[in-house]
Amino acid sequence: MSGPVDVDAFRTAVGRLASGVVVVTALVRGAAHAMTASSVASVSLDPALLLFCVHRDARFRDLLDDVDGWAVSVLADTQADVADWLASPGRPVVGQLDRVPHRAAPVSGAPWVDGAAAWFDCRTVAVHEAGDHDVVIGEVLAVVQGEPALGGLVHLRGRVRGLR
């Protein structure tokens, strides 16, 4: 096959790859910022490393140049509304977490979303360009599990779905 892959065909096909839904947050000059992501993966157990991907033009990407700490909240199966809100275009820059209960992660101080299935507190160790996104790799500095009965939230075929 020659030439680039059709973008719509790629998007549709990759949409069949179920992926976990998380909220990535950072605390920049005292203000909390957040984004919903479904491109998160464990990279290494020793040292504990996590990665997430962020569009190079996203507001959140620009913030990462100002801080090295960030946090991940693995959303529970009941938190689709949180995922939708923090993925919505046009949400305010200031106060975007005002309607989302949260607390500070122990090391970075970035918000952890209350009621999540798990939380990670991370420090950036590398950023790699990858097409129109950047891959951000972080060392995990703290990890906490949520309630054992909680399920997870997945993104599949353009929709967010809860799984237990």
In 3D, which of 13, 87, 85 has the Cα closest to residue 55? 87
Amino acid at 139: E
pLDDT at residue 1 greater than cutoff 60: no
Q: How do residues 9-18 score in pLDDT, each as one tens digit?
A: 998 999 999 9
Amino acid at 19: S
**Burial of residue 135 (number of CB atoms within 10 Å: 0-12, 13-18, 19+):** middle
Tokens of 32: 């909390």
Q: How do residues 42-87 score in pLDDT, each as one tens digit?
A: 999 999 999 999 999 998 999 999 999 999 999 999 999 999 999 9
Domain extent listing, the chain? 7-157
pLDDT at residue 101 greater than cutoff 50: yes
CA distances from 14 to 55, 73, 100, 143, 164 (A): 17, 23, 30, 29, 23
pLDDT at 158: 87
> Which residue shows structure tokens 């949400």?
91
Q: Mean pLDDT throughout 151-163?
A: 91
pLDDT at residue 135 greater than cutoff 60: yes
Average pLDDT score, the chain: 94
Q: Is the peptide bond before 47 cis (omega within 30 degrees of 0)?
A: yes
Tell me which CATH code domain 7-157 carries: 2.30.110.10
The pTM for the full model equals: 0.93
Q: How do residues 29-54 score in pLDDT, each as one tens digit?
A: 999 999 999 999 999 999 999 999 99
